[in-house]
């Protein structure tokens, strides 16, 4: 009996071409747990009361978590091929859980920043890339769609985890809630780690054996990603997309309350609508990135950002529709970039080194996150009104169109 070939080509008892689709909801669930970092706003008010700290201080664990996650992502990329996808996921899941559990015992914001920001953020960075690597390898014929569908879990996480965390805080308090979430995430992620295995090398579904190779012959990949023009084009375009998107996310509710003067409750609930657009854009832009040139898809996001900036630069009190449309577009484009960047990395550079390559490309998100979250807190102080923030954001969108036009294309090979 030859079990190895059969088992390597079957998933959950199904032929791999069908069974691989069951991996996507599992990857979504892992990223749903990790994406709870975006629900941090739910914890801020209770922590401000418990620790007697300012709004700026309560943002520290979140900011540090984002930076830790962005720093660890490229490092983890080099260890995924060595440790394997399952072990990497289990280690990351245990670190995420430990960060949450340890933060539940914190008695001050410094300790909370260390435990939640650094430890939990590190766990997120280690685990985040694994589901994407697994989906990219199981879906060589539909990379963008598969990766885009999987990362919807991270984008839509606040829709599920924010109300859940809020309910737990109301019942048990903020410290116990962090402990419950930590235990749940550690168990769930390590259990799902078992399922996240890679296919045999060069595996292809039967119905698409030669298509990808016909489109992207191996010899067209730049031998060294860091020496290729297309890498710097992608990195700069991704940085702009992340910076603008994360700046917009940081000021979503305050702009609604101060510029449009809608009720705080409506401003807060509108964030759920924005999160929906942020999540749904990921599979859409993944699908578009499979079918069109990355340059054209990137330019489309910058045009949408420009439209949103124009809407908000001229927004007046009471113009709720302008506000909702503009911020839906901002969040939509940020989600789009989280699908465009990994898919473009797969198209431009050797997919066999995807974990390492996308880890390096993802540093662009880290730079955008750091500048975006810090800028979001300072914009009103600098300009006196949030309205003036949309002018530099529009300028960045125009710069993005120029960079994408000239740099975001595969390097020519002799």
Orientation of helix 41-51 relative to helix 174-193, angle to 10°: 140
If one counts every other C-beta atom within 10 angstroms of the C-beta of residue 325, the result is 14
User: What is the value of pTM for the model shown?
Assistant: 0.84
* Mean per-residue pLDDT, 12-22: 87
pLDDT at position 259 is 86
Which of 173, 241, 9, 199 lies closest to 85 in space, CA to CA? 199
Q: Is the pLDDT of residue 216 over 60?
A: no
Least confident of 209-218, 225-234, 265-274, 400-409: 209-218
Percent of the chain with pLDDT over 70: 93
- Token code pair at residue 378: 């300072």
What kind and span of H or E run contains 10?
strand 10-11
Contact between 69 and 61 under an 8 Å Cβ cutoff? The reply is: no
* Mean per-residue pLDDT, 209-236: 71
End-to-end Cα distance, the chain: 48
Q: Mean pLDDT score of the chain, rounded to an integer?
A: 88
If one counts every other C-beta atom within 10 angstroms of the C-beta of residue 338, the result is 27
Position 218 confidence tier, pLDDT thresholds 50, 70, 90 = very low
Alpha carbons 230 and 232: distance in angstroms, whole number: 6
Contact between 168 and 315 under an 8 Å Cβ cutoff? The reply is: no
Least confident of 158-167, 328-337, 374-383, 387-396: 374-383
Residue 15 φ then ψ, to 5°: -55, 140
Alpha carbons 344 and 288: distance in angstroms, whole number: 11
Per-residue pLDDT tens digits for 113-155: 999 999 999 999 999 999 999 999 999 888 899 999 999 998 8
pLDDT at position 52 is 92
The residues with which 11 forms a beta bridge, in sequence order, are 14
Percent of the chain with pLDDT over 90: 56
Q: Is the pLDDT of residue 413 over 70?
A: no
Contact between 92 and 123 under an 8 Å Cβ cutoff? The reply is: yes
Residue 40 φ then ψ, to 5°: -55, -30
Alpha carbons 159 and 285: distance in angstroms, whole number: 20
pLDDT at position 54 is 85
- Token code pair at residue 341: 């960047």
* Mean per-residue pLDDT, 106-111: 94
What kind and span of H or E run contains 14?
strand 14-15
Contact between 327 and 252 under an 8 Å Cβ cutoff? The reply is: yes
Per-residue pLDDT tens digits for 339-377: 999 999 999 998 888 889 999 999 998 888 888 877 876
pLDDT at position 206 is 65
Contact between 225 and 360 under an 8 Å Cβ cutoff? The reply is: yes
Position 283 confidence tier, pLDDT thresholds 50, 70, 90 = very high
pLDDT at position 275 is 85
Contact between 279 and 249 under an 8 Å Cβ cutoff? The reply is: no
Q: How far is CA 193 from CA 44, 71, 72, 149, 353, in A?
A: 31, 22, 19, 18, 21
Alpha carbons 340 and 323: distance in angstroms, whole number: 25
- Token code pair at residue 7: 């088992």
Q: How far is CA 380 from CA 74, 237, 248, 251, 270, in A?
A: 33, 26, 13, 9, 21
DSSP 8-state class, residue 22: G
pLDDT at position 412 is 59
pLDDT at position 268 is 67
Least confident of 107-111, 315-319, 343-347, 376-380: 376-380
Alpha carbons 170 and 62: distance in angstroms, whole number: 21
- Token code pair at residue 250: 């940081």
Contact between 66 and 121 under an 8 Å Cβ cutoff? The reply is: yes
Helix (H, G, I), strand (E, B) or coil at 323: helix
């Amino acid at each position: 009996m030859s079990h190895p070939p059969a088992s390597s080509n079957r998933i959950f008892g199904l032929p791999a071409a069908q069974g691989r689709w069951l991996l996507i909801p599992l990857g979504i669930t892992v990223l749903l747990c990790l994406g709870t970092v975006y629900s941090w706003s739910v914890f801020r008010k209770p922590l401000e009361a418990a620790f007697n700290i300012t709004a700026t201080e309560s943002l520290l664990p979140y900011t540090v978590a984002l930076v830790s996650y962005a720093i660890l992502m490229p490092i983890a990329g080099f260890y995924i091929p060595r440790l394997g996808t399952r072990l990497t996921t289990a280690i990351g899941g245990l670190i995420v859980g430990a960060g949450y559990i340890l933060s539940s015992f914190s008695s001050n914001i410094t300790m909370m920043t260390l435990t939640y920001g650094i430890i939990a953020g590190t766990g997120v960075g280690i685990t985040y890339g694994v589901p994407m690597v697994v989906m990219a390898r199981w879906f060589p014929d539909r990379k963008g769609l598969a990766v885009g569908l999987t990362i919807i879990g991270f984008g839509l996480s606040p829709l599920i985890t924010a109300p859940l965390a809020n309910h737990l805080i109301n019942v048990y308090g903020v410290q116990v809630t962090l402990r419950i979430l930590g235990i749940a995430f550690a168990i769930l992620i390590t259990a799902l780690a078992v399922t996240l295995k890679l296919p045999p090398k060069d595996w292809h579904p039967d119905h698409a054996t030669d298509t990808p190779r016909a489109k992207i012959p191996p010899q067209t990949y730049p031998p060294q990603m860091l020496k290729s023009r297309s890498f710097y084009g992608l990195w700069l375009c991704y940085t702009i997309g992340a910076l603008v998107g994360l700046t917009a996310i940081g000021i979503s509710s305050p702009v609604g309350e101060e510029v449009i003067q809608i009720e705080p409750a409506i401003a807060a609930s509108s964030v759920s609508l924005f999160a929906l657009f942020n999540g749904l854009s990921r599979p859409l832009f993944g699908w578009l990135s499979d079918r069109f040139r990355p340059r054209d898809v990137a330019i489309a996001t910058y045009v949408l950002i420009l439209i949103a900036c124009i809407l908000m630069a001229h927004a007046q009190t009471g113009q709720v529709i302008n506000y909702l449309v503009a911020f839906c577009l901002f969040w939509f484009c940020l989600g789009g970039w989280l699908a465009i960047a990994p898919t473009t990395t797969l198209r431009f550079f050797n997919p066999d080194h995807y974990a390492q390559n996308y880890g390096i490309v993802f540093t662009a998100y880290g730079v955008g996150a750091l500048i975006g979250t810090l800028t979001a807190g300072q914009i009103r102080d600098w300009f006196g009104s949030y309205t003036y923030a949309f002018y530099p954001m529009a300028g960045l969108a125009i710069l993005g169109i120029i960079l994408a036009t000239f740099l975001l294309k595969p390097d020519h090979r002799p």
